[in-house]
């Protein structure tokens, strides 16, 4: 008899799950609440889709932090060369940019999505768009199907929950996946916005809005906080953004659940120590002592920032007082900002938090709370930095959950939890 698998969510995790779950005598139906599948995928990498990077599986997993080991069984199944070969065999070659990031050679996220949709069709996956799953159908204790927003029910012995995160509502972000997981008995690590800009108590960054620094190092100015961001920093009307800040945002948002503000320290020129700055200024004083401090700093930083850094000490460098010099050296190596909130869900590229990992078996991605339920992608409590990490997890977990659901359905005596 034909068995049914339902996949909830038509992002990269859900599409890979549906493809991997397909097979003879199995009907796979994918439900997508938006009118089209893969809306977020199309926006990835600025539309170019940064699909992965050159790290090996262990290094990629480590970048997801303390819980990184959870990724390993999925990466073991579909990561790196397997992923690139899979797309190449389907006429979507993947190529390397800047020796680290992988993109489709065409630099079009649309080609990646088209390839997934073609493969899903070839595998006989039925895709129902504009159809949100809102509830489970159960038969006593057993999962028996899903209920959709229009009140219809669809039978399914196995279900893969791949509803993604909460960020970017227009691209499919929302909370219905978390609600479904909770109805199945799961608990949450409170989801907060990740990979997003940060808003400061200080108003001066707004005066520098639009200015960017190509390479700074940002850290959270609290004891035992080890997360660091390195790269471009952009000043915005409300605070700071760009790569140096994005990778810290999830942790900052988590801290903001308990604290009113979170301090940030920015090393404006990583690699140049306080002592090296001191020596550099000693030289400047010798040959350009009559020049104004802001004028000297403007050779290194955008003018508006230089004026801010010089502050009340602006005037001939030769006349800079000892205390003025110490204040300036402090700012250059650890400019402090106070974060009051993130740029919020509408600009959160990932969600930090989600379904608790302890309640999911990493070897199969099966729920430990409801028999027949599996998870894939960003809906679970895992998020990586910028740079192809999150799509790598979405794809690998999609493949593992799809295969696990299919294997579990085929098992002569289906294990229950």
Ligand X SMILES: Cc1cc2nc3c(=O)[nH]c(=O)nc-3n(C[C@H](O)[C@H](O)[C@H](O)COP(=O)(O)OP(=O)(O)OC[C@H]3O[C@@H](n4cnc5c(N)ncnc54)[C@H](O)[C@@H]3O)c2cc1C
Binding residues for ligand X (CB under 6 A): 8-14, 31-34, 39-41, 43-45, 49-50, 132-133, 162-164, 167-168, 171-172, 174, 176-177, 349-350, 377-378, 388-391, 394
Q: Which residues, including other chains, have CB under 8 Å from residue 367's CB and lie 6 or more apart?
A: 184, 185, 186, 359, 360, 373, 374, 375, 417
Q: How far is the CB of 226 from ligand X (least distance, A)?
A: 23
Sole residue written with tokens 């970048």: 63
Residue 56 vs 299, nearer CB to ligand X: 56
**In terms of Cα–Cα distance, which of 278, 217, 267 is closest to 242?**
217
Residue 31 vs 70, nearer CB to ligand X: 31
Q: How far is the CB of 179 from ligand X (least distance, A)?
A: 8
Q: How far is the CB of 138 from ligand X (least distance, A)?
A: 17
Residue 405 to residue 269: CA distance in whole angstroms:
50
Q: Which runs of consecutive H residues, i.e. helices, occur in 137-292?
A: 176-183, 204-207, 243-256, 274-288
Residue 178 vs 408, nearer CB to ligand X: 178
Residue 342 vs 390, nearer CB to ligand X: 390
Q: Which residues, including other chains, have CB under 8 Å from residue 282's CB and lie 6 or more apart?
A: none
Compute the residue count for the chain. 417
Residue 171 vs 329, nearer CB to ligand X: 171
Cross-strand bridge partners of residue 161: 8, 375
Q: How far is the CB of 346 from ligand X (least distance, A)?
A: 10
**What is the dihedral sign for C-alpha 394, 396, 398, 401?**
negative
Indicate the helix (H) or strand (E) that contains 309.
Answer: helix 303-310
Q: How far is CA 206 from CA 24, 227, 240, 267, in A?
A: 59, 25, 9, 19
Q: How far is the CB of 297 from ligand X (least distance, A)?
A: 34
Q: How far is the CB of 360 from ligand X (least distance, A)?
A: 14
What single string gives the DSSP state of each residue in 312-377?
A: GG-SBGGG--HHHHHHHHHHHHHEEEEEEEES-GGG-SEEEEEE-GGGEETTTTEESSSTTEEE-G
**In terms of Cα–Cα distance, which of 415, 417, 400 is closest to 363?**
400
Residue 288 to residue 267: CA distance in whole angstroms:
25
**Strand, coil or helix: 247:** helix
Q: How far is the CB of 380 from ligand X (least distance, A)?
A: 9
Residue 239 vs 354, nearer CB to ligand X: 354
Q: How far is the CB of 187 from ligand X (least distance, A)?
A: 19
Q: How far is the CB of 45 from ligand X (least distance, A)?
A: 3
Residue 35 vs 223, nearer CB to ligand X: 35
Q: Are the beta carbons of 256 and 343 closer than 8 angstroms?
A: no
Residue 83 vs 339, nearer CB to ligand X: 83
Residue 172 vs 229, nearer CB to ligand X: 172
Residue 130 vs 330, nearer CB to ligand X: 130
Q: How far is the CB of 236 from ligand X (least distance, A)?
A: 16
User: How does DSSP classify residue 90?
Assistant: T
């Amino acid at each position: 008899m034909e068995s049914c698998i339902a996949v909830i969510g038509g992002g990269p995790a859900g599409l890979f799950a549906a493809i991997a779950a397909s097979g003879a005598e199995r009907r796979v139906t994918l439900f997508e609440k938006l009118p089209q599948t893969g809306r977020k995928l199309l926006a990835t990498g600025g539309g170019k889709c940064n699909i992965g990077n050159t790290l090996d599986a262990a290094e990629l997993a480590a970048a997801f932090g303390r819980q990184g080991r959870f990724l390993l069984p999925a990466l073991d199944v579909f990561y790196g060369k397997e992923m690139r070969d899979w797309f190449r065999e389907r006429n979507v070659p993947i190529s390397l940019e800047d020796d680290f990031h992988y993109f489709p050679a065409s630099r079009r996220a649309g080609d990646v999505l088209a390839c997934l949709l073609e493969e899903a069709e070839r595998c006989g996956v039925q895709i129902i768009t504009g159809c949100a799953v809102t509830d489970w159908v159960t038969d006593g204790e057993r999962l028996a199907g899903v209920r959709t927003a229009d009140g219809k029910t669809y039978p399914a012995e196995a279900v893969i929950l791949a509803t993604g995160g909460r960020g970017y509502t227009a691209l499919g972000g929302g909370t219905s996946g978390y609600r479904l997981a909770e109805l199945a008995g799961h608990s949450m690590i409170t989801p907060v916005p990740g990979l997003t800009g940060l808003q400061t108590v200080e108003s001066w960054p707004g005066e520098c809005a639009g200015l960017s620094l190509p390479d700074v190092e940002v850290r959270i100015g609290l004891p035992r906080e080890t997360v660091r961001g390195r790269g471009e920093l952009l000043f915005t009307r409300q605070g700071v953004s760009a790569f140096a800040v994005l990778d810290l945002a999830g942790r900052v948002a988590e801290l903001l659940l308990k604290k009113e503000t979170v301090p940030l320290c920015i090393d404006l020129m990583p690699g140049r120590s306080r002592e090296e700055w001191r020596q550099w200024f000693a030289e400047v004083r010798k040959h350009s002592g009559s020049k104004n401090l802001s004028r000297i700093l403007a050779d290194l930083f955008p003018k508006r920032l230089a004026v801010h850094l010089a502050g009340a000490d602006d005037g001939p460098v030769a006349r800079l007082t000892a205390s003025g010099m110490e204040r300036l050296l402090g700012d250059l190596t650890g400019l402090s900002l106070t974060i009051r909130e993130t740029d919020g869900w509408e600009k959160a590229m990932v969600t930090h938090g989600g379904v608790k990992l302890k309640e999911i078996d990493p070897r199969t991605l099966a729920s430990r709370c409801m028999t027949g339920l599996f998870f894939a992608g960003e809906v679970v409590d895992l998020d990586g930095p910028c740079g192809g990490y999150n799509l790598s997890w979405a794809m690998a977990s999609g493949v593992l959950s799809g295969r696990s659901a299919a294997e579990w359905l085929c098992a002569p005596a289906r294990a229950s939890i």
